[in-house]
Structures are given as C-alpha cells and as structure tokens.
Amino acid sequence: MIEVLGSSLATFLIFTCVMMGWIAFMTGRAIANTWRPRWQVVPYGILLGVANRFFVFALFGGPLLSLSGWLIGTAIMIAVGFASYREKQAYKMVSQYPWLYERSGPFDWRDRKHEAA
C-alpha cells in the first residue's frame, strides 16, 4: 500500500484526504467566489499535489518522488476542487440572481419559472 499511495494508509487518509482535501475545497470555493474560470482549478490542484508530496516527505518520512502517490493525491485534490467550485458557483448564481434562477440540487441551478399574469 505504501508503494501505491506514497505513504501509509493512515497518513494518506488523514493528511492527504482530510487536511489537503480541505485546502483543495477552499481553493475551489475561492476560484468560484472570484468568478474565475473553472479550468484554473487544475493548475492549483497540481500545485497542491506537489505541496502534499513535500509535506508527506518532510513530516512523515514518505518518499518524495512517488509518481503514483502524487497522481492519486493530485486527482483527489482536483476532484474536490471541481466539486467545491461547482457548489459555490450554484450558490452564487441563486443568491445573486434570485429572480432568474432557483436551486435544483447542490451543484446545479435552473431557470425560475415565471407565471403569466
């Protein structure tokens, strides 16, 4: 498991998924909050993946150059970043344009149906 994840399972779950996942979550929200395009989640996710590998190496003694560990961690952070981006974008569309849109789930909105008078 250490060879695939680049760290122990506990380190991967607690540090990579929870702590770095929280940072990826907040990054996605910040990108959406400033109305920047969604593709910007990818370069930030890659940088978070690099930072994650360094912290696992420096704090927990994991291998620094673990390609599979970096790819798995980076994929998780990009996925979390995209999900939080979309959730925040849906919230902003509905809260800033309530006469046009209504929520249709945690990640989506739809046109508000206007009744004819």
- For the stretch 16-50, pLDDT in tens is 999 999 999 999 999 999 999 999 999 999 999 99
Q: Is 40 a member of any domain?
A: yes
Between 5 and 20, the higher pLDDT residue: 20
83 occurs within a structural domain: yes
For residues 91 and 42, the answer to whether their CB atoms sit within 8 Å is no
Structural domain includes residue 116:
no
The whole domain housing 62 covers 2-111
Tell me, yes or no, whether 117 lies in a domain: no
